[in-house]
């Protein structure tokens, strides 16, 4: 059985709720989100099925203040993925 999965999906920025739901459903099926590349390929790794809530954040300041941005996530008990 494969421990990794690659899926091509395309979501526009206005479909961010659909994208969050897609990632949540994948995790419920036992596929943890790892990363998204620029071509729209979602990388997953096999995991125990679990109801995990993914939150997308489109913050232009995150690029210029990345260290502080990631620290804010950690301070809130969240895991920054990408």
* Count of Cβ atoms closer than 10 Å to residue 13 Cβ: 8
- Model pTM score: 0.78
| Edge-to-edge strand list for the sheet holding 31-36 | 4-8, 41-46, 31-36
Q: Quickly list DSSP for 14-68.
A: GGHHHHHHHHHHHHHTTEEEEEE-TTSEEEEEE-------------THHHHTHHH
Spatial distance between the Cα atoms of 3 and 59, rounded to a whole number of angstroms: 32
pLDDT, tens only, 16-46 = 999 999 999 999 999 999 999 989 999 999 9
pLDDT of residue 1: 62
């Amino acid at each position: 059985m494969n421990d990794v999965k690659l899926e091509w999906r395309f979501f526009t920025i206005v479909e961010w709720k659909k994208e969050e739901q897609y990632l949540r459903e994948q995790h419920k099926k036992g596929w943890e989100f790892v990363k998204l590349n620029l071509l729209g390929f979602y990388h997953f790794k096999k995991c125990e099925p679990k109801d995990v809530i993914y939150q997308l954040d489109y913050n232009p300041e995150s690029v210029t203040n990345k260290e502080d941005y990631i620290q804010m996530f950690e301070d809130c008990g969240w895991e920054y993925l990408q």
